[in-house]
Structure 1
Amino acid sequence: MNKILKEKLMESLSSVLPITVIVLLLSVTVAPMPVGTLTLFLTGAVLLIIGMAFFSLGTDVSMTPMGEGIGAQLPKTKNLAIVIGITLLIGILITIAEPDLQVLAEQVPSIPNAMLIWTVAAGVGLFFVIAMLRTLFKIRLANLLIMFYIGVFVLSIFVPNEFVSVAFDSGGVTTGPITVPFIMALGIGLASIRGDRDAQDDSFGLVALCSIGPILAVLLLGIFYRGGDPSYTPVTVPEVQDTQQVALVFLHDLPEYIKEVCSALFPIIIFCAIFQLVFRRFRRLQLQKIGVGFIYTFVGLALFLTGVNVGFMPAGHFLGQQLAGGGHSWLLVPLGMLIGYFLVTAEPAVHVLNKQVEMITNGAVSQRAMMLSLSIGVACSVGMSMLRVLTGLSIYWILVPGYTVALGLTFLVPKIFTGIAFDSGGVASGPMTTTFLLPFAMGACEAMGGNVLTDAFGIVAMVAMTPLLTIQILGILYRKKQRLTEAEEELPAAEDEDEIIVLQEDTPHE
């Protein structure tokens, strides 16, 4: 276990180090940062590295086997109503548990936190049921995606502009470090029951559909809900003078995030315990291992959330404000792209997805290829988001063409890449996006005097969109490479057959 933890720590270090170096370079060049804010950021980076390592180890030994076990067991009940009820409950519980959603709810004005969280949870629960039924009944994912996204864009016409960006952001934040490992593992478990040729392809796509539910739910909320104060409250950057005050800030906020993680994991643990009592799926040794995994997950997530919220959020807001207001606004686009390229590697759920993809495809799609595609996609999305901050460009001018092309590509790529791509969109927009990129955009928007609700919000949605394009392009390249390989293999075989025929013709007959 120590060896595995050491490997996880090295993975986390390689993920967090690039963004740390970029922020350090910016703080000593174009965006001078107060020593206190910089110290908060560096302390947060250390907590991120340790937290990601423990979280990744914890999900490997707890969330993944538990999700696969539940996914494999559900269809065996033979009662569709029970399966639907359990799936709906799982979807609601893991969404309420998602830390990213809590972070977004705190930053959204005009909608009470509890109302937004329960609206989003209901949307995820409903679409989790749809995703499960799709896997069981072999419904083509692309057809559902086209139908639902057309519904999303039509519905958004009737919604106030302030709700549109928040709605699309809600779809991105619900698929974070708690949701993704569990849902993806459950999808693999469901697909394993079928055992047909397309089961592997259909193991992906659950995250993709679960990302649509919150968008539709929040859009409907925008139509029917009237109330609240639409004014935006700026982010406050804590002022600290020395390292002792930095430590006190982290120690003051740590219990709050421990409590948040407890409330997040407790419903899942209770559900898993009831599941085990009813179905007796796991043996004693497996349960002990899963229990230890939940402890690792708890420790990792508590440290991770404390690091990103206390250390990264103020730094992101301050950098955005300094770059936009210090005469360097033109740097927002290239620097935003650079930050986005490296920031996605620090998303915990991204590593979970990449491992699942490499495993399911038997190494045909490597973790490295996935990470490169995601990094390019997120870099483009952050660059376009900064362009929106600078120009006030409507999010429709980017999302509508982007999703149109993404949905069109579903007819050109292998089925499995459609599921992987749309899952990747939800996975890429995790806690690092909501606690660094969103405050970064907010700070820049405030300095430019723009409308934060329409110009800064929406960056999570942008980050969730571009991987749909880059991963599907990867799928086209994969298919092309596969065809070339098959052609090369057929050519020597054909030459061998020709040689055999020639030899037979040359052999004298008795």
Structure 2
Amino acid sequence: MRINRSKFKEKFVETLKAVFPIIAIVLLLCFTIAPISPSIVMAFLIGGVLLIVGMLLFSIGVDLSMTPMGERVGTTMTKSKKLSIVILVGFIMGFVITLSEPDLQVLAQQVPSVPNIVLILAVAAGVGFFLVAALLRMLLSISLPKMLVICYLIVFGLALFVPADFLSVAFDSGGVTTGPMTVPFIMALGIGISAIRSDKHASDDSFGLVALCSVGPIIAVLILGLIYHPDSMDYVPQAIPEIQDSVALWHMFATEIPEYMKEMVVSLLPIIVFFGIFQLIARDIKKKTLIKIGIGLVYTYVGLVLFLTGVNVGFMPAGNYLGQVIAGLPYRFIIVPIGMIIGYFIVQAEPAVFVLTKQVEELTDGAISAGAMGTSLSVGVSVSIGLAMIRVLTGISIMWFLIPGYAVALILTFFVPKIFTAIAFDSGGVASGPMTATFLLPFAMGACSSVGGNIITDAFGVVAMVAMTPLITIQILGVIYRIKAENLKKHAAGMAATLEAYGDMEIIEL
């Protein structure tokens, strides 16, 4: 099967536009106010190349495999019209897909007081439970704003009883677990279910699954904090590698690629097994489509291996070192505007952002353009990184930002069109993906260690901040959209009245 050449070129241009600005900004900083060793710069550049190729292959693979798989499962589940099947399949699917998320392993390593397997299973169960809740919301047409208010009241209620050292990691978990594996499949599942419904709100309800699935991990980790009662969570950051020569540089990437190849086999296998069993039972997909999905899975696999190698081996050390150097300057507060600039551009390099903006534009027939979505996300992430850098420098508790931030986001849900609320809360989970975890988080950690802060309480929480601000900016976009629509409606009504009056005058003259 051949990939359409124009489609390939279009995706390549999109990938370059997404990745090139962040590479340019980092290089500009390296050659001006934040000098770093040539070896780290070279590793960063190689990582950038792997990132571009990986994102390109991943986006092609998602179109060919993850999207049709999710849509087929959603459509078949809804056609069955059996609530028990929806609940059982929904939970298993949420559980399995979360186990496939590579960033979940990173999260488990960051919580030393809880056994890794316990945390992974708890988070997977949380996503499974809330995916079922999200599916039932779609099928029963339950209001998303009301569900979100109840869910976040539970979250902040639990947060009152959890040690401060646990809070940042708990809120980070919501963004980390809705990454490049989870988002495409879950969003496609929503589209598949909404395609069966014939009511006028079906397309609006196709979004919102990621929003509710992001709540599950937060509640799961907060509950673990209550059970395990961690007194302290000492975190030892990874040492920045010193590369002596080009051979050592090649060896660093060559040794990591096989590790990510194994990791992605483990990540993709549960999804493949689940879909294989589902297909054996349903038997509704033609052989040609199955071959297309198989080829797409290969593209997805290779793309994610290259992407994760690039960001973990090339971007993570550069982010950490840059944070250390900039925060160590006499004018350290410059890290706030620099962080905001980096945040503005880096969100466009998140793999799942491609999926979200494209699906939003397609499902709204261009009424909500990918460009407007991208700008709103960039502004939101820019603000969140600026606030995160202020936290790093001052040590302010993350709750001083999260409580008012979520309060504003939840209040806005009652004043914007339903679809904008669903898209906004989906965007929070989508924006906080691998690029945030492997560049912005190390950037904050490096800055925190340079100023002598507490990494657990001050640096962690970046992912949570990135997941929060798009909820506000996308809904503000919804307010603007509503005002424009109302003005257009008034203008059309005025024009119609004018034409009607003009017609009456002509009759009188006759």
Shorter-chain TM-score bucket reads over 0.9
The answer for the alignment partner of 2:32 in structure 1 is: 29
The AA in structure 1 aligned to 2:78 is: P
CA RMSD of aligned residues (A): 1.2
CA–CA distance in 2 between the matches of 1:207 and 1:94? Answer: 12
The answer for the alignment partner of 1:231 in structure 2 is: 234
Provide TM-score, normalisation by structure 2.
0.98
1:315 corresponds, among 310, 315, 318, to: 318
The answer for the alignment partner of 2:399 in structure 1 is: 396
Contact 2:75 2:195 in 1 (8 A): yes
Shift of 1:99: 1.5
Greater CA deviation, 416-425 or 226-235? 226-235
Aligned residues: 507
CA–CA distance in 1 between the matches of 2:56 and 2:15? Answer: 6
Corresponding position: 1:112 with 2:115: yes
Task: After TM superposition, list the pairs within 5 Å mapping 1:259-338 onto structure 2.
Answer: 259-338=262-341
Shift of 1:105: 2.5
The answer for the alignment partner of 1:373 in structure 2 is: 376
Question: 1:60-101: per-residue Cα shift (whole Å, max 9, x none)?
Answer: 111011101111110222322222111101101111111222
Greater CA deviation, 187-196 or 481-490? 481-490
Shift of 1:23: 0.6
The answer for the alignment partner of 1:413 in structure 2 is: 416
Shift of 1:112: 2.9
Shift of 1:107: 3.6
Shift of 1:10: 1.7
Task: After TM superposition, list the pairs within 5 Å mapping 1:75-474 onto structure 2.
Answer: 75-226=78-229, 230-474=233-477
CA–CA distance in 1 between the matches of 2:318 and 2:461? Answer: 20
Contact 1:109 1:233 in 2 (8 A): no
Question: 1:308-330: per-residue Cα shift (whole Å, max 9, x none)?
Answer: 00001111111111111233421
CA–CA distance in 1 between the matches of 2:242 and 2:284? Answer: 52
User: What secondary structure, in the 3-state scheme, does the structure 2 residue paired with 1:233 have?
Assistant: coil
Q: Percent identity?
A: 58
Shift of 1:218: 0.4
Shift of 1:240: 0.6
Contact 2:53 2:306 in 1 (8 A): yes
Contact 2:424 2:472 in 1 (8 A): yes
Shift of 1:54: 0.2
The AA in structure 2 aligned to 1:372 is: T
Gaps of 5+ in 1: none
The answer for the alignment partner of 1:67 in structure 2 is: 70
Shift of 1:37: 0.7
CA–CA distance in 1 between the matches of 2:176 and 2:121? Answer: 14
CA–CA distance in 2 between the matches of 1:475 and 1:360? Answer: 16
The AA in structure 2 aligned to 1:423 is: D
Shift of 1:228: 9.2
Corresponding position: 1:57 with 2:60: yes
Provide TM-score, normalisation by structure 1.
0.98
The AA in structure 2 aligned to 1:25 is: L
Contact 1:334 1:383 in 2 (8 A): yes
Task: After TM superposition, list the pairs within 5 Å mapping 1:8-23 onto structure 2.
Answer: 8-23=11-26
Contact 1:172 1:430 in 2 (8 A): yes
CA–CA distance in 2 between the matches of 1:82 and 1:418? Answer: 28
The answer for the alignment partner of 2:46 in structure 1 is: 43
CA–CA distance in 1 between the matches of 2:165 and 2:122? Answer: 17
User: What secondary structure, in the 3-state scheme, does the structure 2 residue paired with 1:323 have?
Assistant: helix
Shift of 1:226: 4.2
Shift of 1:165: 0.6
Contact 1:53 1:300 in 2 (8 A): yes
The answer for the alignment partner of 1:504 in structure 2 is: 507
Gaps of 5+ in 2: none
CA–CA distance in 1 between the matches of 2:10 and 2:238? Answer: 36
CA–CA distance in 2 between the matches of 1:120 and 1:333? Answer: 32
